[in-house]
């Protein structure tokens, strides 16, 4: 039977060869996209592994070295230049043989530093007052590629005397360098790591892989579905169900194996171009988009097996009886109860929004996850019902023949129409919810300083401002007069405000400080004094990513009942600098602050997202854009394969229509409406539900007002839909070829 199956597949003429080529092409596209998804995950893992050394800590290195070996003082911080984050590592060896970070031949000594190639170019291309003057000493080399998460990574390793770092807040003594990605939530290994990133990767991979798998299954079923009549005829002459299954498996395997081979060729052909796709928000290095043996075996074996299983399932009607093909009947229309899980999921999120119960930990978080799970399941279950509703509306309101034919055709089998794009539901729901949450968060953070001095103000926070265990040796007793004069003389700086440490230990624990009102009035981005007040008690004026409870610029701080002379004797909590808002002024002010207060933290923008958070948000947003476009194109390819199968089944009716004078343009509209209506309807429902879910989650859990995503999101969606329509239109020439007059004759 295997030889007969090969003969029927390869030697049945031009039509059989064309059928195999169509299936192989669809499988090749699906395999290529599947390989890209797997390689993208491997690339991100490679980036994270190369940046693992940046997550070195005393706890992480405890098991890598004994106390008897020389140790290394280690201080990691994140600097910033414009919107780019700079990973800064300050080191000091306690003796010869101290741990050596990767990418450098030896540790830098006092007054020396290594910089990554991208940072080296940046140091040379911008004025020294904006960046180079922040880093003391001279550059003695560049950091090698083995230590760079991405070719665009900005990293600097600065050497110090061993006696300098022990008294610096945040510095730790390590016995070894982290070699594997740390299991943490706030890691800074260039592109991020830890469970948060793993969940993001898992969600993106699932959202992309599901449509790919559906495309492969759809393509593998095409051959079997178009040969049902031949298989039924073979049953009538005595073939057993087992023999039919073997022939079907051979046909599916031949097309799938050919598609797998072409898919691998497409992947390796286009891989050089894929390094520019923002899978992780940062460019990938050459070699990152690699495939492991597990990936290769999974695709080489899994795809043909999936093709055989799909072909076997497609023949279930033939297996019932030899006349199964002739006894087709319309399935019962989907019932309205299919939308109950979807409504239940939205109701769960709405309950938490109305009750105002944050789900940060424990059972409430679990209940929120249950709500999102109900929505995902509900979308899949409700898809056929939405397709039926749209088809019925299209048929009832039809004013043209094409609309009526397409509507009645979809009503005949809405489940099959939805099946080919069901993978799009999860992809668009996940991505639209993510984009809705991200765009609202970023917009809220940006608007907090909009129209005020928030965007033009920097704050250098010392350890006593935000921690209750700041050692006395790390306190900043005062700001030298020459440092204040240098700051005020920096071009673009308009005012400098000094926030003093509160004498109350309770206020210190809560991040409260003291400030003279004559200084505060010059930096309105961090609040105001009440009328008649000379000294005010300030709170934590930097906004949190999931907080934004209040904007400091509109806050009136209470009186401290102390004199200006009294607070000038207290240690310094922070120095706040207001600029004219230009990029050059901000960077010069940042440089002046870091030179005035070395190793005392890096200045951050008032009411702005910190660099690691901004980097993570950018990565997630880039990934979701890729998933949206890829999912829409994959769904369109599934529809195109479905169209090819449908045209084969209806070539005689279409030919008869053409003989009666129906223009081919009308038939083109029928095919386009049958494909586009489910695609557009499912896309619209998924996006709306995703945005509604994001709005409910943000309002209940983070107190952030939801904002409609910007033009970039809608342009991405519309671009993906336009590409989908182009793929659907590519089947029109096939319709013209197979619906000629010769097909309409009775045999």
Residue that wins the pLDDT comparison between 64 and 707: 707
265 and 217 within one domain: yes
φ, ψ for residue 626, nearest 5 deg: -60, -45
Identify whether 435 is part of a domain. Answer: yes
392 and 325 within one domain: no
- Residue position matching structure tokens 């929505």: 375
Torsion over CA: 223, 224, 227, 230 (sign): positive
pLDDT digits (tens, 9 = 90+) for 262-308: 989 999 998 888 777 766 667 788 888 888 888 888 888 888 887 77
Question: Looking at residue 359, what DSSP letter applies?
Answer: -
Identify whether 180 is part of a domain. Answer: no
CB atoms within 10 A of CB 83: 10
pLDDT digits (tens, 9 = 90+) for 437-462: 777 766 665 555 444 556 788 888 87
Residue that wins the pLDDT comparison between 486 and 543: 486
pLDDT digits (tens, 9 = 90+) for 492-522: 888 888 888 877 665 555 557 788 888 888 8
Identify whether 131 is part of a domain. Answer: yes
Residue 623: pLDDT band (50, 70, 90) is low
Q: Among residues of the chain, what percentage have pLDDT more than 90?
A: 6
Alpha-carbon gap, residue 369 to 359, rounded angstroms: 10
26-30, 356-360, 509-513: least confident range = 356-360
Last residue of a domain, one of 584, 607, 630: 607
Residues of the chain by 3-state class (helix, strand, coil), percent to 5: 60, 10, 30
- Residue position matching structure tokens 């991200």: 438
392 and 404 within one domain: yes
Last residue of a domain, one of 298, 329, 360: 329
Alpha-carbon gap, residue 186 to 209, rounded angstroms: 28
Query: What domain range includes position 111?
Result: 53-174
201 and 162 within one domain: no
What pLDDT does 113 receive?
Answer: 92
94-98, 260-264, 682-686, 705-709: least confident range = 705-709
404 and 269 within one domain: no
What pLDDT does 158 receive?
Answer: 92
DSSP notation for 376-388: HHHHHHHHHHHHH
Total structural domains within the chain: 4
Residue that wins the pLDDT comparison between 425 and 13: 425
Please compute the mean of the pLDDT values over residues 31-36 and round it to a whole number: 82
pLDDT digits (tens, 9 = 90+) for 712-728: 788 878 887 887 788 77
Identify whether 179 is part of a domain. Answer: no
What pLDDT does 526 receive?
Answer: 81
379 and 321 within one domain: no
What are 556's strand-pairing partners?
528
Q: Residue 68 pLDDT > 60, yes or no?
A: no
φ, ψ for residue 707, nearest 5 deg: -130, 135
What pLDDT does 657 receive?
Answer: 82
380-389, 538-547, 575-584: least confident range = 538-547
pLDDT digits (tens, 9 = 90+) for 134-189: 888 889 999 999 899 888 889 999 999 888 888 787 788 888 888 776 654 445 54
Query: Please, are residues 567 and 500 in contact by the beta-carbon 8 Å criterion?
Result: yes
Identify whether 669 is part of a domain. Answer: yes
pLDDT digits (tens, 9 = 90+) for 463-490: 755 554 566 666 777 888 888 888 888 8
What pLDDT does 472 receive?
Answer: 67
What residues contact residue 551 under an 8 Å CB cut-off, 6+ apart? 448, 454, 543, 607
Query: Please, are residues 188 and 74 in contact by the beta-carbon 8 Å criterion?
Result: no
483 and 437 within one domain: no
Question: Average pLDDT over the chain, rounded to whole?
Answer: 76
618 and 601 within one domain: no
44 and 63 within one domain: no
Residue 124: pLDDT band (50, 70, 90) is very high
What pLDDT does 119 receive?
Answer: 93
Q: Residue 115 pLDDT > 80, yes or no?
A: yes
59 and 15 within one domain: no
Identify whether 699 is part of a domain. Answer: yes
Identify whether 560 is part of a domain. Answer: yes
Please compute the mean of the pLDDT values over residues 346-351 and round it to a whole number: 84
**Taking every pair of C-alpha atoms in the chain, what is the biggest distance, in angstroms?**
107
Q: How far apart are the first and last CA of the chain?
A: 28
Identify whether 725 is part of a domain. Answer: yes
362 and 300 within one domain: no
Last residue of a domain, one of 297, 329, 361: 329
502 and 432 within one domain: no
Query: Please, are residues 691 and 434 in contact by the beta-carbon 8 Å criterion?
Result: no
């Amino acid at each position: 039977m295997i030889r007969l199956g090969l003969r029927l597949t390869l030697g049945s003429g031009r039509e059989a060869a064309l059928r195999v080529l169509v299936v192989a092409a669809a499988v090749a596209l699906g395999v290529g996209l599947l390989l890209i998804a797997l390689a993208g995950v491997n690339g991100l893992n490679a980036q994270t592994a190369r940046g693992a050394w940046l997550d070195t800590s005393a706890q992480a290195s405890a098991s890598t070295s004994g106390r008897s070996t020389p140790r290394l003082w280690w201080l990691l911080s994140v600097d910033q230049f414009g919107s780019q984050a700079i990973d800064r590592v300050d080191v000091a060896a306690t003796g010869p043989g101290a741990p050596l970070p990767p990418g450098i031949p030896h540790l830098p000594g006092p007054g020396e530093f290594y910089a990554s190639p991208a940072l080296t170019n940046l140091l040379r291309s911008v004025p020294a007052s904006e960046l180079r003057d922040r880093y003391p000493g001279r550059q003695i080399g560049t950091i090698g590629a083995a230590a760079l998460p991405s070719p665009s990574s900005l990293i600097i390793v600065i050497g110090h005397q061993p006696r300098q770092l022990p008294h610096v807040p945040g510095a730790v003594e390590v016995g070894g360098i982290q070699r594997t990605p740390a299991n943490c939530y706030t890691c800074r290994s260039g592109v991020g790591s830890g469970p948060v990133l793993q969940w993001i990767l898992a969600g993106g991979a699932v959202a992309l892989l599901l449509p790919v798998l559906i495309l492969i299954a759809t393509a593998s079923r095409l051959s079997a579905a178009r040969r049902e009549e031949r298989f039924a005829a073979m049953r009538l002459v005595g073939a057993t169900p087992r023999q039919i299954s073997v022939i079907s498996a051979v046909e599916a395997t031949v097309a799938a194996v050919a598609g797998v081979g072409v898919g691998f060729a497409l992947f390796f052909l286009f891989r050089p171009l894929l390094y520019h796709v923002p899978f992780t928000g940062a460019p990938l290095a050459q070699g990152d988009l690699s495939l492991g043996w597990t990936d290769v075996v999974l695709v080489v074996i899994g795809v043909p097996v999936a093709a055989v299983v799909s072909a076997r399932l497609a023949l279930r009607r033939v297996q019932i009886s030899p006349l199964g093909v002739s006894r087709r009947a319309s399935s019962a229309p989907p019932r309205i109860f299919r939308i109950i899980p979807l409504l239940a999921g939205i109701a769960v999120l709405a309950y938490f929004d109305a009750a105002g119960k944050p789900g940060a930990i424990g059972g409430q978080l679990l209940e929120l996850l249950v709500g999102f799970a109900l929505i995902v399941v509900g979308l899949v279950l409700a898809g056929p019902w939405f397709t039926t509703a749209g088809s019925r509306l299209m048929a009832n309101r039809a004013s043209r023949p094409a609309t009526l034919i397409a509507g009645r055709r979809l009503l005949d089998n809405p489940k099959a129409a939805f099946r080919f794009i069901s993978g799009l539901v999860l992809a668009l729901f996940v991505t639209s919810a993510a984009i809705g949450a991200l765009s609202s968060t970023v917009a809220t953070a940006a608007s907090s300083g909009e129209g005020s001095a928030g965007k033009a103000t920097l704050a250098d926070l010392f350890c006593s401002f935000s921690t209750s265990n700041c050692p006395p040796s790390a306190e900043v007793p005062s700001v030298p007069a020459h440092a204040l004069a240098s700051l005020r003389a920096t071009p673009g700086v308009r005012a400098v405000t000094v926030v003093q440490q509160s004498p109350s230990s309770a206020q210190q624990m809560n991040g409260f400080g003291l400030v003279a009102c004559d200084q505060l009035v010059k930096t309105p981005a961090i609040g105001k004094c009440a009328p008649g007040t000379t000294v005010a008690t300030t709170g934590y004026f930097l906004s949190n990513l999931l907080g934004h409870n209040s904007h400091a610029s509109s806050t009136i701080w209470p009186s401290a009942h102390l004199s200006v002379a009294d607070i000038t004797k207290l240690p310094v909590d922070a120095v706040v600098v207001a600029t004219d808002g230009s990029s050059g002024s901000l960077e010069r002010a940042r440089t002046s602050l870091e030179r005035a207060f070395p190793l005392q933290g890096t200045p951050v923008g008032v009411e702005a997202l910190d660099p690691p958070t901004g980097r993570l948000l950018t990565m997630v947003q880039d990934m979701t854009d890729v998933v949206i476009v890829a999912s829409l194109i994959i769904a369109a390819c599934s529809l195109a394969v479905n169209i090819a199968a449908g045209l084969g089944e209806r070539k005689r009716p279409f030919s008869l229509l053409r003989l009666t004078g129906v223009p081919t343009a009308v038939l083109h509209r029928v095919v386009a409406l049958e494909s586009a209506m489910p695609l557009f309807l499912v896309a619209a429902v998924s996006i709306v539900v995703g945005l509604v879910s994001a709005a409910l989650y943000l309002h209940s859990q983070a107190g952030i007002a939801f904002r409609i995503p910007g033009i970039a999101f809608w342009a991405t969606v519309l671009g993906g839909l336009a590409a989908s329509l182009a793929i659907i239109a590519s089947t029109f020439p096939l319709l013209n070829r197979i619906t000629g007059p010769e097909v309409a004759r009775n045999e």
